[in-house]
Structure 1
């Protein structure tokens, strides 16, 4: 356990050093957040149908996506792990006296946390100061905020567990491009990052409910806005934890299968 905590600390502190990249990402996320909200404001002003989300809830949903983008994006990747697999240097990882799945999981978790910490506070402050309807609203009550924090953290752990399959697939494909595109694009759409799930058609909403992706982003964000009440949030947390356990168990099984077939050439 000490090895995993140590690598988590090292990666977390290392990630905090990339301030220039964080500033560039900050500007990009503010820009896209405003553009997305402007598009939805235009749709809401000219729509005759009654939407399932208010404009205020939608603006909050989008700002939470941008604030916690490092938590929820599946295309966030560690090129060092890809290089270890494709170059054959995975042999050095196998020499460590710890499980490779848990070791990589701790690294990826720390990277996402450090990236989010550098960006979230500035975006949070700016989003709160924007005029209505472009601003980030406060949660309706403390009873909504506490479940939001818990569901967001479980969603982060769930997202890392999903992203681990991208790295595991490279043992067979030897290229991260295909698996990153397929999993990232599919996961981003089904988690509500492109279109919020309440604005999707009914059949597509039911489809997203049976997959793990919506539990990483859509679920905690709607808990924050109060669209999902605290009692329902507690039930959702149980489902999140079940998905997390399933994905970790399957991920560990897959990486064991992959390591049995690893061939490291050279002397």
Structure 2
């Protein structure tokens, strides 16, 4: 555990030294947040509710979505790719720590640093220029926190599984970018799934992506009753277990392949 804590602390320091990346992320997220806010304001101009959600709740949804996008940043797929390209993956796997545990600790370290560097400024900007994103029902805060933690784990597992494509494709830079933007679209981060046609929404709700962004955001703005929220969290947990099992299986096979063939 001490080794992983050391990696985590090192990553916090490393992340906090790259000021240019911090400012770039804040600017990008602010542009997306404010542009989305104007879009939804225009959409709600002639009607009070759309999809069972009023304009005020939708603006809160957008701000919290921008904040979650900071917490849901992962670098595991890029780290796997770099390890494969450099040919160090075999030696990395022989270290006295689990290689993926190390990547996980790095991502946690980055998130802790970005919480203060990115989330706080984005929250202040959103509160000043759009609205203060108040939670609809403070009693659902524990559900929201649990859902966000599970969201991060699901997102990280998907990223790690995606990164293992590098063991066969080697260079996956373009695929990482496609995956990143596709996930934002399918997860309800930018446009909630309830705005999609019913058949499309039903398909998306059967996939794990909506449980990354849309579920915790829906809990935050109070969409749906408590039973519906708990049902969503139950499905979210099932997806977490499925993806964790799949990850362990693929990791075991990938490790065996690398140790036999070298990397």
Give me the TM-score of the superposition, normalised by structure 1.
0.86
- Contact kept? 1:85, 1:170, Cα under 8 Å: yes
The residue that corresponds to 2:111 in the other structure is 112
Per-residue CA deviations over 1:20-73 (Å, capped at 9, x if unaligned) read 321221122112211111122222225698533211111111111212212335
In the alignment, does 2:131 pair up with 1:129?
Answer: no
Per-residue CA deviations over 1:142-193 (Å, capped at 9, x if unaligned) read 1133321221122111111111012111001111135424533332221012
The equivalences for 1:1-267 within 5 A come to: 1-46=1-46, 50-72=50-72, 79-130=78-129, 134-262=130-258, 263-264=261-262
Per-residue CA deviations over 1:92-127 (Å, capped at 9, x if unaligned) read 211212322323222223323432331111111222
Q: Distance in 2 between matches of 1:178 and 1:217?
A: 23
The farther-off stretch of 136-145 and 77-86 is 77-86
Q: Distance in 2 between matches of 1:228 and 1:154?
A: 19
- Contact kept? 2:153, 2:240, Cα under 8 Å: yes
RMSD: 2.4
Q: CA deviation at 1:84?
A: 1.0
The farther-off stretch of 53-62 and 20-29 is 20-29
- Contact kept? 1:72, 1:217, Cα under 8 Å: no
Q: Distance in 2 between matches of 1:246 and 1:154?
A: 13
- Contact kept? 1:12, 1:114, Cα under 8 Å: yes
Tell me which stretches of 4 or more aligned residues in structure 1 moved more than 4 Å. Answer: 46-50
The farther-off stretch of 190-199 and 10-19 is 10-19
For these two proteins, the number of residue pairs brought into alignment is 261
Give me the TM-score of the superposition, normalised by structure 2.
0.88
Structure 1 gap ranges (5+): none
- Contact kept? 1:8, 1:109, Cα under 8 Å: yes
